[in-house]
Structure 1
Amino acid sequence: MNKIERNHILRLFYDFINMIKNFIFFAIISIGVLITKIGLIKSILISAILIIVIILYQFLAWRKNFFIVKTNSIYHEEGIFSIKKIEIPLDRINTIDISQKLLERIFKVATIKIDTGDTNKDSELKFTLDKDKTETLKNILLKNQNITTNTPEEDNQLYYILSSKHLLIYSLISNSLFKGLGLLLVAQQFLDDYFKAFININTSDYINKLQKDKIYNNIKIILFFVIALILISLCLSIIYNFFKYYNFKMWADEKNIYINYGALNKKNYSFYKEKVKGIHIKQTILMQCFKFFTLEIESIGYGDEEGEKSILYPICNASLKNHILKNIFEEFQYTGQINKPPKNTYFRFLYKKFILWAVTAAICFFIKPKFALLSFIFLLFLFIMGHLEFKNTAFGMDKNIIYMCCHGFNKTQSLLKINAVQSMTLSYSYFQYNKGLCNYSIILHSSSFGKTFQVKNLKNNLSRGIF
């Protein structure tokens, strides 16, 4: 308490690397110009002086970046020429995140992020400290809020552990499969540009060769590559998810939720239940077929980092989903009526997709008439998408909760607290108005200055008497 604390020296290394990444392109061009103007030796001397100046500046910035934990607040100050000071009451803290990258684990260091739930980014504090200091700071902050810091095993709290079996299922039926496809595309470019210097291989040649072979051989080769592509991307998806969600645990007590996971990059989250503003129950098309769900939450400060989701539980069946919602989020139990779009709105979910198909088919026909036949596969895809959007769309409200369901291939059910809603908008076109229909848009208070949720083509009298 009341002691000045600074970031670990590793933070200085991070800042230096980030500066190099931001200015590397400019630096290369500048060095090239200097060499042509004043020669190699003088350019090296100037570059060395600039590097020393940058290192000194980063060191001073590191020294001037410190924080003090007081009895009822945490004080932070940073800056050399422009000094910024902020003091946050401890009872305003919304989320405490602790993460460890591989390099940090080697040096027994961790990064702690403290978020107040304010939409102002200045209210977010992030420090890189010794692992012991990180845990001490976390315990001080949680103790001030009367949050227990026991593990679930110690206190016999309600907790859930993700098994390897379910993590494998998640890898197979979630959208993480596309991450594997993305890695394969990068690998293909690497093979074409770099690896062919050692082995005479060019994946583009196989595509060009297809034009010279017979149609049946082409189909066999395409099917082989598609199957191989899917299998490899599945393997990459499994590896990615096992590293990301390794040893996933979620537990809760009467007031708070705790989430731990990660192999190389370990994550540790703690936040108040009452500050959760919404729950999202998500399903990919395969999850809809096999009745699995992904649970995410809407809580300011959680899941707002790049590449991170506000995950509550990666995958669960209907029984486990209901158990989690009933035992941890009892206040999100929805008891109102679920309203679906009228049957006469079915075409409204399809007509824009038919227009898109017609334009695409016309373009294909003018390029090569045979391609127009292939566009019917695209039409089938669009029809299924529109049908699922009609099937999945729903809206309802009770005294405390707004229920919304939307999307086709990636179905999302949202349970939102009414007291967290900034505004509700009813919009409609001339044709919707004549049929008594409208679109409902909900803006929820979040870290992105209001997050919008929308459902379309529902009766316009579903929100009366709520606000």
Structure 2
Amino acid sequence: MKFRNHPIMIARPFLVIIAFIAWIVFSTLERLVEGDLRPKDLWTGLSGHIKGDFLAYIFDQKIPSLIFLGLVVILVASLVKTFFEWKNSYINLGDHSIFYTRQGLFSKVHKEVNFTNIANVNIRTGIIYGVLGLCVLTIDINSSATANDLDYKMYLSRKNAQIIKDWVMASKTDRSDIEVDDKVPSQDLSSYRFRSSQAIGHFFMDINLFHIVLFIGAIVALISKVIAIFALINIGIIKGFLSKMDGLYDFTVKRYPDHIHINYGLFKARDFTIPIENISSVGYQKSFIGSILGYRYLTLDAIGYGNEENESRLLSLYMKDESVGDFMDRIIPEFSLDQLGGDFIRKPTFLIKYYLPLFSLIFVLVTVLVGLPLGKYWTGLLGLPLAILASLYMIFGGRMLLTETDLIIKKGILSTKTILIPISQIEMINIGQNPIYKKLGVYSLTIYKKDPQIGKTVEETGPYPIGIFDKLFDYYMNGEIN
């Protein structure tokens, strides 16, 4: 079966015109807010341009004419480029492989990948695409090089995108039964749909220091009557809220025999199919507010999940601590956080001899450099308490647990992040030991595993006493933990 990009992709260059109009609107609003332009003058000018020859006005003015001509050139070039990409780009589905061809004006790309090397197939749609019955299909390749460069992406009708997804993700025995007009029948074993109130609660519990600074900045700008800054901060806050809610609204998780299905979206609907075997780690996180209220949320790492703009790695939204176990038993029983009550290995306290001098040098130097232009040499003293806090965080803010099947890493004090990595998903380990580590009798372990954004991710445990990781080495040498 052969599928070609929908002609809608040819219209993408018109986004340049939209961006130009947006630039004019925001520039005009800024002048209005600052008082450089009066509404009456704006209306008079617009009326004159509408009644007169608009193009003549543009070409009479040097800067607008150059901008206008530049936009025309960019628009024409982009239209030609996207036309040839649309005409010469397509996907062919074979019995065991998928063939992807994309040809532009000066280059041609032809790729072939076996179905076994496809991590997952995702479908995204937005408000405009939804009205037109279209979506963006992304086929994520299970590559350790990068998680984006080798992906296939096409603009298709919802029907054709679903056909490709079903064909690729189905087993060989099921694939022969797929018809062009049919969808693969599959019954979910369990599902969980989060309510809108839970999405709003997740947003407020996940507020961080940056959001608080923005809010305080808006209040200061309002009191100081700096309306332009107040407006910009509010636009940023509103944009952040809408962007966050887009990734939380209607968050639904369904468990099937061999994969998990996740969909969500307010303005852009997203649809992910994640094979269980491709999940490299599961974890949970909780903010300072979440810790106080007794809430946490789950995350997962898998190639192709969370590697696009405004996408997260959520497996759930914030839920009560006591509800997490039941959720995991229903949705992802292959991973268990029951062992989190075990005896975690903490970093030795004698590491204060390493961290305190290091951070003292850094923070004192920075605070002195900040105070020098003001003639405030005493600011260097402010670096000492900061160095002490940073040293204590590095020692008590990380701990680790190694079981027969998993490596569990905890990070944080007030807000925490816990990662459960199956040992079988670890692709490589690396031991690091600098001269100071060697003198103190410690070393650091670096874990390499598959990552949705860059192909591989690195988790560093930090310094631990020599011998702590011997069980992990036994696994790689003997195939089991003794």
TM-score, shorter chain, exceeding 0.5: yes
Aligned to 1:425: 430
Could you say which residue in structure 2 is the equivalent of 1:108? 133
Deviation track 1:224-276 (CA, whole Å, cap 9, x = no partner) reads x9xx9999988775544333311111121221101111111111100101110
Show the 5 A alignment for 1:181-260. Answer: 202-203=226-227, 238-260=241-263
1:455 corresponds in structure 2 to 461
> 1:76 is aligned with what amino acid?
Y
Indicate yes or no: 2:142 matched with 1:136: no
- Secondary structure class of the residue paired with 1:245: coil
- Higher mean alpha-carbon deviation, 358-367 vs 109-118, is at 358-367
Gaps of 5+ in 1: 23-34, 192-199, 206-224
Query: How high is the TM-score relative to the length of structure 2?
Result: 0.72
Q: Residues 175, 429 of structure 1: CA spacing in aligned structure 2 closer, same or farther, 3 A cutoff?
A: farther
| 1:71 and 2:131 are equivalent in the alignment | no
SS of 1:314's equivalent in the other structure is coil
Q: Quick check: 2:13–2:75 contact (8 Å CA) kept in 1?
A: no
> Secondary structure at 2:278's aligned position in 1?
coil
CA offset at residue 155 of structure 1? 4.2
Does the Cα contact within 8 Å between 1:99 and 1:265 map onto a contact in 2? Answer: yes
1:109–1:129 CA contact under 8 A, matched in 2: yes
Tell me how far 1:405 sits from its aligned partner: 1.9
Contact 2:6 2:86 (8 Å CA) reproduced: no
Cα distance change of structure 1 residues 347 and 280 upon mapping to structure 2, 3 Å threshold: farther
Q: Map 1:30-429; keep pairs closer than 5 Å.
A: 52=76, 54-80=78-104, 81-120=106-145, 121=148, 123-144=150-171, 155=187, 157-175=189-207, 178=210, 202-203=226-227, 238-333=241-336, 335=339, 338-346=344-352, 348-363=354-369, 366-368=372-374, 376=382, 383-408=388-413, 410-429=415-434
Query: d(CA) in 2 for partners of 1:140 and 1:11?
Result: 24
Identity of aligned residues (%): 14
TM-score (norm. length: structure 1): 0.74
C-alpha distance after superposition, 1:105-158 (max 9, x if no partner)? 22121111111211355541111111222223223333346699789xx94632
Contact 1:339 1:395 in 2 (8 A): yes
Change (3 A) 1:141 1:50: closer
Cα distance in 2 for partners of 1:44, 1:163 equals 47
Query: Match of 1:6, as an amino acid?
Result: R
Equivalent pair of 1:172/1:238 in contact (CA under 8 Å): no
Give the secondary-structure state (helix, strand or coil) at the position aligned to 1:277.
Answer: strand
The CA deviation string for residues 9-28 of structure 1, in whole angstroms up to 9 with x for no partner, is: 11122256479989xxxxxx
Q: 1:342 to 1:9 in 2, by over 3 A?
A: same
Structure 2 unaligned segments of length 5 or more: list them: 21-58, 477-482
C-alpha RMSD of the superposition: 4.4
